[in-house]
Every structure is written in C-alpha cells, then in structure tokens.
Amino acid sequence: DSGVTQTPKHLITATGQRVTLRCSPRSGDLSVYWYQQSLDQGLQFLIQYYNGEERAKGNILERFSAQQFPDLHSELNLSSLELGDSALYFCASSVGQVRIDEQFFGPGTRLTVL
C-alpha cells in the first residue's frame, strides 16, 4: 500500500459522457501527478499539481482537465469520452515539486468507454 488512494477502481461508461476520477495523495505530499496507461501508448504523463497550482503539463487532451483542492486531493475530469480514452489512469504523489523525489503511485482507475 503506497498511501495513495484512487476512486473508483473501475468505471464503465459510454462515448460522449463525462467522468471524474479522484485521487488522495499520501499524507504530507503536496504534489499530485496524473498518468494514463494504455496498451498502445504506454505510461503517459498528463499533468502535475503542487499545493493547488498546476505545475507541469504533458500529453493531456483539451477534453481533460484536473484540479487540486485545498485538502490536496485531486480530481481528473474526462469529458466527451471516446473509445480511445479507455485506459488505466494512475495518480501519484510526491513531497515536493522542484527536486523530484520518488513518486508513490495509487492503484489506478480502470476506465472502459463503450
């Protein structure tokens, strides 16, 4: 158990829908990262938040957005879902933001878009 929690574990939805994935970082960690793991693209960095502010952006689609709340939990919103969005979405957390330390990964949310 890494201390990072993600809900839900599984999510099945239809194309065109919108879903929200939730992540709670380890106690004391200020940074939250979102990754997408799909069969054809491997593990892709999406976005990082540090203490409520966006810090880095990766290959995140415009249909996707995220935020980090004052209690440091984060949500990843995926809208206008397409079949290709089916993937495992991982959240990770770390203590800091600049000198990157070990990232602790959550168990992931498996999204299936039908």
Judged by the rule CB under 8 A, the positions of this chain that interact with another protein are 2, 4, 31, 33, 35, 42-45, 48, 50, 55-58, 90, 92, 94, 97-100, 102-108
Compare residues 4 and 19 and give the one whose CB is closer to another protein: 4
- Report the number of secondary-structure helices (H) and strands (E) in the chain: 0, 11
Cβ closest to another protein, residue 78 vs residue 104: 104
**Closer to another protein by Cβ: residue 69 or 80:** 69
- Token output for 56: 């880095």
Sign of CA dihedral 73, 79, 83, 85: negative
